[in-house]
Structure 1
């Protein structure tokens, strides 16, 4: 049997890498890329065209508004979906958006998983993403071959909408931890410690994750290639704080990180979110040491 055709709606840095791995695994791939980059993948003119052409549709768009735009209207995906289709929503969206999408799937009869990934472009490149999925067991089983190509591990978080919520937990920890690391760097530099000693020490100790050690290397080099843009991390922190407020969760540390990343986003929107380290270093660059 031939492999099902995969259709991407949104084809930016993460989706292109997922698409490349799927092609290597023998899947035919088509894409709609309103603003993302393009490679040798066949491009189609609309989300509706993707929904009509593909068996499995992977949404990979930046926010709730972009997702709604891709779904609705004459050329939206909903106009081309039939009950035999499977959608994997890898976008990081609000829990409310994930719940609304699940209701649409129930109304129209197609299969859907909220399936945001944990990882950045290096993990997408190597197929080592951790895929968080929410939905029915049978749909997870159906999607597993595709998930196994783009990720190294699939975590079934629970019913529809669960993965969207779990992704905010993961990204909240990422953002808040980066802010704490940046604060530590800021104190060390303001206190007169050798800059390389500060950065190299933090890259060696066990309390800093491999992910954040990559971010520290960027900070040490003062270069922030966009593995995960600040604008997206700042957006995700805002989603988390809004969702937390609705359920009464106490998250003061994440609230501070949200504000720090919002400030960094003013100058570093399209750079990696580790640019917060550089922004905070700049804040103490001219302070006299005591």
Structure 2
């Protein structure tokens, strides 16, 4: 099995790395803050982690973090190495990353949809974009982590993630606001939720009240920023940023925040 370097052991990265190790891949991990490896073989630096790796997987927080790691490791990647970036950084940053890679190094953009629970059980949705040969090679690795949706050429996985997460995050903010309106109009929350759940917003209502998801509001706001400056998504982002007290809480916290305003 191919030797993997996994960089980024945050909320999502650590359970994903554990799954790859459990599948039998020789695995070396690295995290900016050391001591999170939880028994996995940990390198002291990102450059050390990728030494001799066939596949590099990154699961980092934002475009700046990916760019920083690229600066540390890109020149050290040998021809034939495949980089699978599973961070949510958008298509523009993905294109910039591709430009920094040495000749002969492949790149698959493969951001995921799902939270910590699905990351641990291998039930993520993986949006994969890249050259056909790179996608074929990445698939056996990605299938340990979730259901792979092959999106097309380079950047298409990153682009689809922006589209889907933008719709989800903005819709959760809308549900939070209309529930606040219901309260102002004297309706019970139970009645309003029941009516919304009976219609096409059922899935969004469930996500807005999820008790087992872990998608911090600050990262949701970051993902909306990646979608650009459209009026609806920009307004939803302002809603998320208006209450700094919920920045590290799950997206569902925006519902209670809106009711308090």
With normalisation by structure 1, the TM-score equals 0.83
| Separation in 1, partners of 2:167, 2:110 | 19
Partner of 1:158: 152
1:147-204 CA-to-partner distances (Å, cap 9, x unmatched) read: 111012x2222221121111110110011110111012111122222334444x2684
Aligned partner (choices 249, 253, 261) of residue 275 of structure 1:
253
Contact kept? 1:226, 1:270, Cα under 8 Å: no
Q: CA deviation at 1:213?
A: 0.6
Aligned partner (choices 208, 213, 218) of residue 231 of structure 1:
218
Aligned partner (choices 86, 90, 94) of residue 90 of structure 1:
86
Partner of 2:28: 30
- Aligned to 1:155, the other structure's residue is in SS state strand
Structure 2 unaligned spans of 5+: none
Moved more, 156-165 or 143-152: 156-165
With normalisation by structure 2, the TM-score equals 0.92
- Specify whether residues 28 and 231 from structure 1 end up closer, same or farther in structure 2 by C-alpha distance, changes over 3 A only: same
For 1:131-170, what aligned pairs fall within 5 Å after superposition? 131-152=126-147, 154-170=148-164
Count of residues in Structure 1 that have an aligned counterpart in Structure 2? 260
- Aligned to 2:209, the other structure's residue is in SS state helix
1:54-110 CA-to-partner distances (Å, cap 9, x unmatched) read: 2211111111111111111xxx111321012111000111322111111223x4321
Partner of 1:260: 239
- Specify whether residues 185 and 47 from structure 1 end up closer, same or farther in structure 2 by C-alpha distance, changes over 3 A only: same
| Separation in 1, partners of 2:38, 2:53 | 18
| Separation in 1, partners of 2:174, 2:123 | 26
For 1:5-24, what aligned pairs fall within 5 Å after superposition? 5-24=3-22
Q: CA deviation at 1:211?
A: 6.1
Contact kept? 1:89, 1:116, Cα under 8 Å: yes
| Separation in 2, partners of 1:163, 1:95 | 8
| Separation in 2, partners of 1:31, 1:227 | 22
